[in-house]
Amino acid sequence: MTKRILIDTDPGIDDSLAILLALASPEVKLEGLTVVHGNCSAEQGTVNALSILELAKAEHIPVLTGCDLPLVQPSLLAPETHGGQGLGYASLPSPRNQARAGHAVDFLIEQIMSNPGEITLVAIGPLTNVAMALRLEPRIVQNVKEVVIMGGAIRHEGNTTPMAEFNTFVDPHAAHMVYHSGMPITLVPLDVTYQVVLNHADVDRLKGLPSGIPQFIEDATRFYMEFHDEYQQIDGCVINDPLALALTFAPELCNYEEQYVDVDINGGVSMGNTFADFYKALNQPANMKVALGIRPRQFLDLFLERMEQLSKRVGS
Ligand code: BDR
Ligand code: CA
């Protein structure tokens, strides 16, 4: 049975790859994109979301703009990682369509509440929209099917501070609310995503296929690869967000542990740090399933196959 999904996103180079993967995957039906601040402003992210959908001839999918600021923290965008416009060196035509009227948070609530037990929410940006939805309509906890979150770094070092991952660091208070909400959560932290490195040969594999998708992937990831080379000495680029999307229909790509996970919101050097209580020192029940092991090549092959199929479908 196809899974109905909503993606809450800050597009974003790897976010755009997650959106394309959703469109390429018959196992899921993409019901909408809700945009949040993060890699770029919510306004720019909305333009990017619309352009990516048009690139893939999927302009019928609704896009809604959401929160442009974290709950408590000051804004933090990521132009050095994703480029000034959020999509690296890619420059897609301005979208013909506009975002749907209304707020992304209201849309999230309306979709989840009118389809009880049906909607899988894939959250691949800072969790501000999701936290706001929880406050406005707490019953989404019982009505959402599952929430798959790309965020956190459990045993892994941070990618934004030594101890914190980007999505969590940008809005740690929102992450705190979501982690403790009681929603059925699967967390996809850097522990697994940092094993998924897309390299030049992978991108070359898509060359020559029809549609603008291979060129978009090449232009966007070239910037991302330069960032990874300069800042992290990684040959290639880590594609975090599409892994979270893939786990909605291919959970066997990862191994999971049920854990009690929390996030530091006390400020200081460990602000936004995520940790699991592996030895049960805190004596708390598990609040999520955490992906801690992965078969990276299997995921990358799936991702590339799906991009080939989507390019052929869109180009024909
Ligand atoms: C996360 O932060 C963003 O830069 C990426 O899009 C991803 O969602 C990885 O830490
Ligand atoms: Ca993201």
Q: Kindly give the distance from the C-alpha atom of residue 287 to the centroid of ligand 1, in angstroms, as a whole number.
A: 22
**The pLDDT of residue 298:** 98
State how far Cα 5 lies from the chain centre: 13
CATH architecture of the domain covering 3-311: Alpha-Beta Complex (3.90)
Residue in 147, 160, 191, 173 with CA at minimum distance from that of residue 291 = 191
Q: Is the CB of 168 under 6 A from ligand 1?
A: no
**The pLDDT of residue 1:** 86
Q: Kindly give the distance from the C-alpha atom of residue 299 to the centroid of ligand 1, in angstroms, as a whole number.
A: 18
**The pLDDT of residue 316:** 79
Q: What is the pLDDT of residues 210-246, one digit of tens each?
A: 999 999 999 999 999 999 999 999 999 999 999 999 9
Q: Is the CB of 39 under 6 A from ligand 1?
A: yes
The average pLDDT across 259-283 equals 98
Is 31 in contact with 56 (CB distance < 8 Å)? no
**The pLDDT of residue 285:** 98
Which element (helix H / strand E) includes 289?
strand 288-294
Is 242 in contact with 236 (CB distance < 8 Å)? no
Instruction: Enumerate the domain spans of the chain.
Output: 3-311
Q: Is the CB of 65 under 6 A from ligand 1?
A: no
Q: Which residues contact 120 (CB under 8 A, 6 or more apart)?
A: 3, 4, 5, 6, 28, 144, 145, 146, 147, 148, 248
pTM assigned to the model: 0.98
Residues 238, 207: Cα–Cα separation, whole Å: 20
**The pLDDT of residue 73:** 98
Is 35 in contact with 65 (CB distance < 8 Å)? yes
Task: Determine whether 269 is exposed, middle or buried from the number of CB atoms within 10 Å of its CB (0-12, 13-18, 19+).
Answer: exposed
The average pLDDT across 54-65 equals 98
Residues 44, 62: Cα–Cα separation, whole Å: 16
